[in-house]
Structure 1
């Protein structure tokens, strides 16, 4: 079957047309692409319309077969969705209702589902949820210490995100190391970023929480902060919607360094820009703290896996993170870390306590 996979992110739309019958997964990619927009801008219908126009133009190229089904990556499935589902009007409504929990992503998924349905009305569409992989997180790690009535009245718990990426990274790492079941710490670092503790192949904790706002320093998201900061912003006159916008769209690297794009921040840091250097150090330190904590949770991890746009491509960021982890026995091979290579690779020293890849 030829499946068109749509992955709307907070600053891009990635797409692949895959032949699922191909023996080699790489050979099964019939077409692919990515349309980006400024990561410090909220996803808009204009951006998504332009991205979908490019996608449909790609489908019209000679020799490119049309899809037979469409798969959508959806960030937040809430308590309702723990497995992939066939898209129906009720499913779309549920995804839309969960938008306050993933304001940068779920609306984009609804828009993509709508656009794909209009372009290919006879094709089945399936939604796959980033939160599903994290349904194995135990209650003591998933619960927040808030009053029971608030917990029961609202969907207040740690859902976790980037689950599709983490699950794939674990599968590939297990094959790469020939280890099963896998114990690993997976750092998905892009414009959005999270880190996950995986024990015996299952997610047991992750840095993002009820929404993708919690955890690491990200492109435009603050990550962890004292809840009193929210109260302070409201005391200064910000509405709830304005606070949400500040923490999701105006914080993170953007707030500290003036850009949400790590490539731009690294370039400025290379020129000695103090705020850029500070932003990278803040992001690396926050991630290193989580990795150190999760090494205890995982109990003798087989691997530390970097994935996502920054995790896969920024040698500087990886080096800064691992430098904090030397007390755990982690070591990074400078040459392997700097080398440009597609796919999974080992970048640790021979005596490193566990693999960095």
Structure 2
């Protein structure tokens, strides 16, 4: 049997899937490397099968190696004919699924400084997969692609125009997730999908997107994956004057990069953890303050995305926090009656698909970036 492998390297996890290579790929195995760092685990799930394996200290390279090593016995006689890769940044060049050859990889390397938590690991996964499966088609799908075609006012910064022409503009990210959610809505909620939708992808990385008739017209993320909402370890929106101040205080570009990408967000505000589950269980007032700030920013951006759309017909939560953290959804939506958003507390507590009580529909839809990758590979193979 021919099979497709997907690799989705995030900032703290690496998700994978193995699919039968049909026109609509059928999921056979899936899992993830979780909590990259000192104590890393590999989870593998299949038909009636679930196993968690300790793989010890691991970075992204070791995590990919563990995935490839552990799925090999599961494949048995199945042949991997295509590998789909999530690539966070496609810049201005890559607007759709692309064959990842040496020339393309060299171009993508130049974008690593724009997404340092992701791009180097995405490309390392590509190289590992090319070595493990030399005969397979390697296809890259880009988080920036979904946002191509934004109106100028949503893409530009008010700095000298020459920088815009050189590519200093808002790109937007989490495009694979938004691609899946808009497609799922078109299948299950076609009337809502044709309208104005605000999608909140809330996980260790977090952003919100204004979608009109399935097309992105605004995003909270911008030039890099730092902007907008606070995240697990990333700062979110920040006054540029703070960066000037840090530079004047003697911080190097490398030190500032480390602070903004790895020591900020929920971790920086709480001083405890980047994991929302840990913060929700904590009695520490700093944990509560970090959560309150996170919720405040989501509520603020919900209003902003609604203004971009000229109104809102539906709100969708997805991502690890968006799909599973009922207290966060409740805090975000409480008091949103002025937008005609009314929460059904019981449905929300049960993580139901529809969690609104009249008014604007509010949905919880699990995202599936790996399926977007698998579909792109299947299309390329056909």
TM-score (norm 1): 0.91
* Pairing partner for 2:322 from 301, 311, 318: 311
2:228 is equivalent to residue 247 of structure 1: no
Gaps of 5+ in 1: none
Structure 1's consecutive aligned runs of 4 or more residues displaced over 6 angstroms after TM superposition are none
**1:164 counterpart residue number:** 176
Cα RMSD (Å) of the superposition?
2.0
Gaps of 5+ in 2: 40-56, 365-382
Matched residue count: 344
What is the CA-CA distance between 1:171 and the residue it aligns to? Answer: 1.3
- Residues 62 and 150 (structure 1 numbering): CA distance in 2 closer, same or farther, change over 3 Å? closer
Superposition pairs of residues 297-308 of structure 1, within 5 angstroms: 297-308=308-319
What is the CA-CA distance between 1:147 and the residue it aligns to? Answer: 0.7
2:298 is equivalent to residue 287 of structure 1: yes
**2:16 counterpart residue number:** 15
Deviates more, 1:172-181 or 1:7-16: 172-181
CA distances 1:107-142 after superposition (whole Å, capped 9, x unpaired): 001100010011111111000000001002111111
* Pairing partner for 1:355 from 337, 344, 362: 362
What is the CA-CA distance between 1:193 and the residue it aligns to? Answer: 0.4
Superposition pairs of residues 18-33 of structure 1, within 5 angstroms: 18-21=19-22, 28-33=26-31
Superposition pairs of residues 1-357 of structure 1, within 5 angstroms: 2-21=3-22, 28-38=26-36, 46-61=59-74, 65-152=78-165, 154-179=166-191, 180-257=193-270, 258-268=272-282, 271=283, 273-340=284-351, 345-349=353-357, 351-357=358-364
What is the CA-CA distance between 1:315 and the residue it aligns to? Answer: 0.4
What is the CA-CA distance between 1:39 and the residue it aligns to? Answer: 8.0
What is the CA-CA distance between 1:51 and the residue it aligns to? Answer: 3.8
| Greater strand content | 2
Task: Quote the Cα distance in structure 2 between the aligned partners of 1:184 and 1:197.
Answer: 6
CA contact (8 A) 1:174 1:182 kept: no
- Residues 200 and 147 (structure 1 numbering): CA distance in 2 closer, same or farther, change over 3 Å? same
CA distances 1:137-160 after superposition (whole Å, capped 9, x unpaired): 1111110000123333x3200100
What is the CA-CA distance between 1:32 and the residue it aligns to? Answer: 0.6
- Residues 39 and 170 (structure 1 numbering): CA distance in 2 closer, same or farther, change over 3 Å? farther
